[in-house]
Structure 1
Amino acid sequence: MRVEVRLPQWGMGMTEGEVVLWLKEVGEPIAEGEELVEIETAKVNETLESPASGTLVEVLADVGAVVEVRGVLAVIETD
């Protein structure tokens, strides 16, 4: 099953975030709750954790990309 990794809204005024660093590469396994990507918002830097265990199969937002809240960042294929 494919699981979309979406940018959450960490604060009331947050509308978007910038991808700073991917901590996993396409093809690598990842566990639910493991750190996946660093995001910079207007107020703070946050690390987004994986919503599922599986394999990172697609990154849709490269480093430097600005993504709207609830936008898809990546796709994980679950086992």
Structure 2
Amino acid sequence: MAKIKVLLPQFGMGMQDGEIANWLKAVGDRVEAGEILLEVEAAKTTVEVPSPGSGVLTEILVQQGETADVRSHIATIET
């Protein structure tokens, strides 16, 4: 099985990090490419983040309420 890294996207030029507001999927859940996976709070706005691929969410590295840097690995999906 291939692994897909879920990275925290950059929503604006000045964005350095974001807080995980809510995971909409749990470890073990099946996800489809483009399906909303989580919500991130950045610069006082909440943005939905779609899944970068289809498979099973096998790992969440940054929990709800925690902050991560832009482009950091926050979860893993196995195809």
TM-score for the superposition, normalised by structure 1:
0.96
Give the structure 2 partner of residue 40 of structure 1.
Answer: 41
Give the structure 1 partner of residue 66 of structure 2.
Answer: 65
Q: How well do the aligned residues superpose, as a CA RMSD in angstroms?
A: 0.6
Note the alpha carbon deviations across 1:8-36, whole angstroms, 9 max, x for none.
Answer: 11101100000010000000100000000
SS at match of 1:63: coil
The one-letter code of the counterpart of 1:44 is T
Cα deviation, residue 4, structure 1: 0.4
The one-letter code of the counterpart of 1:38 is E
Q: Which ranges in structure 1 are unaligned for 5 or more consecutive residues? A: none
Cα deviation, residue 44, structure 1: 1.6
2-structure distance, mates of 1:56, 1:30 = 7
Cα deviation, residue 43, structure 1: 3.9
Runs of at least 4 residues off by over 2 Å: none
SS at match of 2:22: strand
Note the alpha carbon deviations across 1:55-79, whole angstroms, 9 max, x for none.
Answer: 000000001110000011100001x
2-structure distance, mates of 1:27, 1:35 = 16
Matched residues, number: 78
- Greater CA deviation, 38-47 or 25-34? 38-47
TM-score for the superposition, normalised by structure 2:
0.96
1-structure distance, mates of 2:33, 2:25 = 13
Identity %: 46
